[in-house]
């Protein structure tokens, strides 16, 4: 299943946070951003999560970025949620 996010005009961290949530739930995510900073942040996310990344630059500085889970990263979402829950369960 795939997801599509239009993150143009959003603040600094929002596009990468949306992309991360989406890739945890979907095998493929396409996110549209309008800043080079957002592009670079999502590129780092792809490296961190082990996803493949495809980038298409469109006119006027718009980037269409597609993240795809690789077969060996299928457990990423499960591990990410488990590690995120650890901190919430500790007193």
Q: Is residue 88 in a domain?
A: no
77 vs 2: CA distance, rounded Å: 15
Q: Is residue 31 in a domain?
A: yes
Kindly give the interhelix angle for 76-89 and 14-25, rounded to the nearest 10 degrees: 110
pLDDT per position as a tens digit, 20-47: 999 999 999 999 999 999 999 999 999 9
pLDDT per position as a tens digit, 68-87: 998 865 555 555 555 555 44
Q: Is residue 73 in a domain?
A: yes
For residue 61, which of 33, 40, 42, 41 has the smallest C-alpha distance? 33
Number of domains comprising the chain: 1
The CATH number of the domain where 74 resides is what?
Answer: 3.30.110.40
Q: Is residue 71 in a domain?
A: yes
For residue 40, which of 26, 23, 24, 19 has the smallest C-alpha distance? 19
Q: Burial letters for 55-74: b for 16+ Cβ neighbours within 10 Å, e otherwise? A: eeeeeeeebebbbbbeeebe
Q: Which residues span the domain enclosing 8?
A: 2-80
Q: Is residue 37 in a domain?
A: yes
Q: Is residue 29 in a domain?
A: yes
């Amino acid at each position: 299943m795939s997801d599509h996010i239009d993150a143009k005009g959003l603040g600094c961290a929002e596009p990468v946070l949306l992309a991360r949530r989406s890739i945890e739930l979907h095998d493929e995510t396409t996110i549209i951003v309008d800043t080079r900073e957002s592009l670079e942040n999502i590129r780092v996310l792809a490296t961190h999560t082990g996803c493949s990344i495809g980038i298409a630059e469109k006119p006027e500085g718009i980037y269409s970025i597609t993240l795809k889970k690789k077969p060996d990263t299928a457990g990423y979402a499960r591990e990410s949620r488990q590690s995120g829950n650890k901190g919430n369960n500790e007193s």
